Amino acid sequence: MNRALILLASASAAYATSLSSACTAARVRDSLPEDGYILGVTFDHDSVTANAVYNSSHSDEVFFPDATINYCNVTFSYTHEGSDDSVIVGYYMPAPSNFKNRFLATGGGAYAIQSGSMSAPGGVMYGAASGFTDGGFGSMDTDFDDIFLLHNGTINWPSVYMFGYQAIREMTIIGKQFTKNFYDVSNNTKVYSYYQGCSEGGREGFSQAQRAGEEYDGLMIGAPAIRYEDPGLLPPPCELEKIVNETIAACDPLDGRKDGVVSRSDLCQLQFNMTSIIGKSYYCASSSSSSLGLGFGKRDSTEPAQNGTVSAEGVAVAQKIVDGLHDSKGRRAYISYQMGASFDDAATSYDSTTGEWGLDIAGAGGEWIARFLELHDEDNLSSLEGYTYDTLVGYMKQGMTRYMDSLQTTIPDLTEFYENGGKIIHFHGEQDESIPTGSSIHYYNSVRQTMYPGKSYNASTAALKEWYKLFLVPGAAHCDTNTAQPNGPFPQTNFEVISRWVEKGIEPVTLNATILQGEYEGNNEQLCAWPLRPYWKNGGKNFTCEYDQASIDTFNYNFDAYKLPLY
Ligand SMILES: *[C@@H]1O[C@H](CO)[C@@H](O)[C@H](O)[C@H]1NC(C)=O
Ligand SMILES: *[C@@H]1O[C@H](CO)[C@@H](O)[C@H](O)[C@H]1NC(C)=O
Ligand SMILES: *[C@@H]1O[C@H](CO)[C@@H](O)[C@H](O)[C@H]1NC(C)=O
Ligand SMILES: *[C@@H]1O[C@H](CO)[C@@H](O)[C@H](O)[C@H]1NC(C)=O
Ligand SMILES: *[C@@H]1O[C@H](CO)[C@@H](O)[C@H](O)[C@H]1NC(C)=O
Ligand SMILES: *[C@@H]1O[C@H](CO)[C@@H](O)[C@H](O)[C@H]1NC(C)=O
Ligand SMILES: *[C@@H]1O[C@H](CO)[C@@H](O)[C@H](O)[C@H]1NC(C)=O
Ligand SMILES: *[C@@H]1O[C@H](CO)[C@@H](O)[C@H](O)[C@H]1NC(C)=O
Ligand SMILES: *[C@@H]1O[C@H](CO)[C@@H](O)[C@H](O)[C@H]1NC(C)=O
Ligand SMILES: *[C@@H]1O[C@H](CO)[C@@H](O)[C@H](O)[C@H]1NC(C)=O
Ligand SMILES: *[C@@H]1O[C@H](CO)[C@@H](O)[C@H](O)[C@H]1NC(C)=O
Ligand SMILES: [Ca+2]
């Protein structure tokens, strides 16, 4: 039966179709857009797979609430004519009775372009067909860094553009039409289109706002890695951990509420001097640890017990980290983490052969230099000998120049997205230890100044907030809650909030969030929209969002190490 006959036969009965009868390879094949729907793209009809998944339970996720869902798991591939590539896309299609005329595109983390099985359920539970792509890298298990080099010295440029923005754009354009066909939605009925992702997934979201603005109605973007930035060289972990703990203890009450959460890292920077920690004793038992994050902080280590007192040198190193990357002339090249954030991505590692603590470099930072800048098929640097801050600034410049039109995702002109009526909820953990919080504020300011060049600070902020809001998440780590500040909230219901904003015009003045661990687990909190800052009056009881010029000014940066503007 061809498509037209199916349409006639099913007429308006589409919503009565059960998941089991809808979820067939034949229906998926019939629902594929025409070849050439995107110029040069043809579909491989033999590649189609479809299987119904029932009672799939998801709990303890930070980006969406607990839910049990049913969906049709669809995959198929397409090729770009004239190339011999094959791009696999995956879509989780809600049961027809639960479909709410929504499509959600999802992204990945670190060098993975997708985390579909982890992200797509967050759309299905809200009635959205939810898509992801392998970028044409070979399989859903193949990351960008695995295929980026064709050989030492030879870049696989098509993969750079696919990772940069093209693959997710195509997955969305194909997915929106496939969704209409699959559910028999008429072409003139709106299917709302969303994106959700954090870290590299956040970068992918901004890549779409910047380069595919007409395709989306709402974007939920967390802690975006938009600049392929500071590789982050740094010094003994127990001493640094003690410095962080003391900073948290000293700065927690500055926000008006003593709850173990540094909700005002700006007041911490203005009022707390880390030299007061010198002389305090620290102790850490020996440990063997390993952690794998969504972001850029991969590490493994075995460390001996450490016992000592905080030194002036240790505090100086911590201060240098907090000040951010500067060149030897003292010019700013990059931003650092907010005070109170852990130094995990910036700590030293123990060399068991020499028994000394040496400079370390976060896994992804070393790989960035070795593979993406030096073009060696390796995932770390062999040595840090001879590296200076100027070397790192040089790498920053090289990265920006080489990948300006592909991976650099800081175009501040979002006119197309704005004119299409798009809305953005952008959030960033205020205690992010991997992508500096200030990086998001700097981009927000770049968009504000670019979109509203003639307006004052307050007027341009008010205009931007009508469609693009930035929320800092008190105490939150990189795309996650923070074990060191368990009473901090996390914005877990963003899909609910943005769909109300897009579909019903209910504007989120504050962002809904929930405490997800610790003694207050389950409590609701609201997050202030930048540039307003949280402050608790009346002994921690009365929550307010205040305008504090001195605090806002701590987030203004002048990147004078570069001649080109850094957006
Ligand atoms: C899914 O769960 C419901 C409720 O517990 C149950 O009735 C149903 O049989 C389950 N379906 C499958 C396919 O396991
Ligand atoms: C979805 O389908 C793909 C392709 O057949 C398969 O690899 C994957 O495991 C399936 N996922 C689920 C949750 O069924
Ligand atoms: C809907 O639009 C698609 C893409 O333009 C087209 O291929 C299809 O024939 C249209 N369907 C109907 C029923 O008009
Ligand atoms: C820092 O505080 C954490 C609790 O958040 C504790 O587990 C850890 O031992 C402390 N570290 C040091 C060096 O005191
Ligand atoms: C902290 O105090 C020391 C010693 O008084 C001073 O040299 C330093 O400039 C202060 N640092 C900051 C960031 O205010
Ligand atoms: C740490 O060192 C001090 C002084 O050397 C000693 O008194 C103390 O017992 C040590 N603490 C631990 C937990 O080893
Ligand atoms: C690529 O370079 C690394 C050293 O930088 C070397 O170990 C490896 O063998 C080279 N691979 C090829 C295919 O030449
Ligand atoms: C990467 O290499 C540097 C320098 O050789 C080393 O200090 C660091 O521990 C390595 N990092 C990882 C994650 O292997
Ligand atoms: C900007 O708005 C804030 C909060 O409404 C106000 O306190 C501040 O005075 C305004 N600044 C200017 C220059 O008008
Ligand atoms: C806000 O979050 C609470 C949990 O903290 C949740 O019960 C409620 O449904 C959320 N509201 C919206 C609009 O998402
Ligand atoms: C705190 O909030 C309560 C209840 O909304 C209100 O009655 C009280 O006046 C507020 N106190 C202060 C100091 O703002
Ligand atoms: Ca606090």
Report pLDDT digits (tens) over 337-354. Answer: 999 999 875 555 555 444
Q: What is the DSSP secondary-structure string of 288-357?
A: EEEE--SSS--EEEEE--EEEE--HHHHHHHHHHHH--B-TTS-B----PPTTS--GGG--EEETTTTEE
Single out the residue of 337, 344, 331 nearest to residue 289, CA to CA: 344
Specify the residue with its C-alpha closest to ligand 2, atom 10. 73
Single out the residue of 99, 108, 148, 111 nearest to residue 132, CA to CA: 108
199 is catalytic: yes
What gap in Å lies between CA 263 and CA 495, rounded to an integer?
24
Q: How many whole angstroms from 356 Cα to the centroid of ligand 12?
A: 36
What gap in Å lies between CA 546 and CA 526, rounded to an integer?
13
Catalytic choice (255, 345, 432, 480): 432
Instruction: Detail the DSSP E strand segments found in 116-228.
Output: 128-133, 149-151, 154-155, 192-198, 218-222
Given ligand 2 and candidates 46, 55, 73, which is best to mutate, with the most ligand atoms within 8 Å of its CB? 73
Close Cβ partners of 29 (under 8 Å, ≥ 6 residues apart)? 45, 48
Contact present, 400 and 227 (Cβ < 8 Å): yes
The whole-model pTM stands at: 0.92
Q: Give me the torsion for CA of 402, 403, 405, 411, rounded to 10°.
A: -120
Residue 303's pLDDT is what?
A: 73
Residue 386's pLDDT is what?
A: 75
Report pLDDT digits (tens) over 482-541. Answer: 999 999 999 999 999 999 999 999 999 999 999 999 999 999 999 999 999 999 999 999
* 438 pLDDT more than 90: yes
* 557 pLDDT more than 80: yes
Phi-psi region for residue 43, left (φ > 0), alpha (ψ -120 to 50) or beta? beta
Report pLDDT digits (tens) over 108-139. Answer: 999 999 999 999 999 999 999 999 999 999 99
> Is residue 496 in contact with ligand 10, taking CB distance under 6 Å?
yes
Which one-letter amino acid corresponds to residue 528?
A: C
Residue 392's pLDDT is what?
A: 83
Specify the residue with its C-alpha closest to ligand 1, atom 1. 55
Contact present, 343 and 360 (Cβ < 8 Å): no
428 is catalytic: no
In a 3-state reduction of DSSP, which class is residue 60?
coil
432 is catalytic: yes
Residue 290's pLDDT is what?
A: 40
Contact present, 109 and 116 (Cβ < 8 Å): no
Report pLDDT digits (tens) over 177-229. Answer: 999 999 999 999 999 999 999 999 999 999 999 999 999 999 999 999 887 65
What mean pLDDT do residues 328-333 have?
94
Q: Provide the token pair at 212.
A: 């595919």
Neighbouring-strand partners of residue 390? none
What mean pLDDT do residues 440-459 have?
98
Neighbour-count burial of 225, counting CB atoms closer than 10 A to its CB (0-12 exposed, 13-18 middle, 19+ buried): buried
Residue 366's pLDDT is what?
A: 80
Query: Which atom belonging to ligand 1 lies closest to the Cα atom of 55?
Result: 1
